[in-house]
Amino acid sequence: MSDITLQVGDLAPDFTLPDEDGNPVALSGFRGKRVVVYFYPMDDTPGCTTQACGFRDAYPEIQERNAVVLGISPDGTESHLAFKSKFNLPFRLLVDADHAVADAYGTWNAESGYIRRSHFIVDETGHLADVQVGIKANDSVQRALDSLRG
């Protein structure tokens, strides 16, 4: 398990990862918007599908609140593309193949070899406004929305 413990108010660790199409996506490129960065263990599994579809269904409200969503898992571009297409996900899925970003956010569990389901709200200035590590799939979307509304 990572020793990193991020807290509200901390500067969010910046990253650049490839999306489902292989295009680089940098967190810093979203300054001026809020970003829901969520980590999930694996594409197209029950909990991960619940979380992704929850963010999909809430996406209009997320956009109304000057925010975007970025999903991150170790799965590759082909897996992400299939998952995104199958469930009509309107946001980008990023490839963290070596789990370096998950480790920087304290969500990588080396013992189990999986990312712990988590989400972070990054504010317009790049600071963390909400930190939820190890959250249940059903709770993640609601807590993210509560944070964006607050």
Catalytically annotated residues: 48
Say if residues 81 and 21 touch (Cβ distance below 8 Å): yes
Say if residues 105 and 88 touch (Cβ distance below 8 Å): no
Query: Is residue 144 within a helix (H) or strand (E), and if so which, with residue range?
Result: helix 137-149
From 28, 20, 12, 2, select the one nearest 96 (Cα to Cα).
Answer: 20
